[in-house]
Amino acid sequence: MTEHTPTPVLQSIVLCDWVYTDAATGKKVLAGTFNTLCAQEFPTAFARSTFVYLCLTDVHHEARVDLRYLDLAENVSLLSLDGIMVMAPSPLDSVEAAIEIPPLPMPHPGAYLFEVACGGVSLGSVRILVTKLTPDVGSNGHARH
């Protein structure tokens, strides 16, 4: 009989331009958070450096998480990052991870999903809206708020 390891709990998932650690406090600082991307034409890719910030708890020593970028209209995975190891001295600790992700494919405007899974179980996700560039959108590809 194998011992069951509890599934970690996803506290947060945030897409951002950069994640750094404050030297004085040790706190993570997320810069340029977003959930909307824009392009002038399709298909294309969001080819800037992008990070996904994760915060997990209930990690029993270590856990292997997988990231998937899904096209919701076509119900297909466009990008997978498998086997990201996270470790915690105690399940009560929060584990923070900043993972640089490759260019995000954007075959068409619409809804996409960035999902976090562990052992085949979805821990949570963040939806990304991809839109066609209009005059009220900044040249960096992020929608103005």
pLDDT at residue 45 greater than cutoff 50: yes
Architecture of domain 9-132: Sandwich (2.60)
Average pLDDT over residues 104-123: 97
Tokens of 52: 């996904």
pLDDT over 70 for what percent of the chain? 90
Q: Does residue 143 have a pLDDT over 60?
A: no
Mapped onto helix, strand or coil, the DSSP state of residue 130 is: strand
Stated pTM of the model = 0.87
Domain ranges of the chain: 9-132
How far, CA to CA in Å, does 20 sit from each of 68, 73, 122?
Answer: 23, 34, 27
DSSP 60-118: -EEEEEEEEEEETTTTEEEEEEEEEEEEESSTTS-EEEEEEEPPEEESSSEEEEEEEEE
Mean pLDDT across 8-30? 96
**pLDDT, tens only, 50-103:** 999 999 999 999 999 999 999 999 999 999 999 999 999 999 999 999 999 999
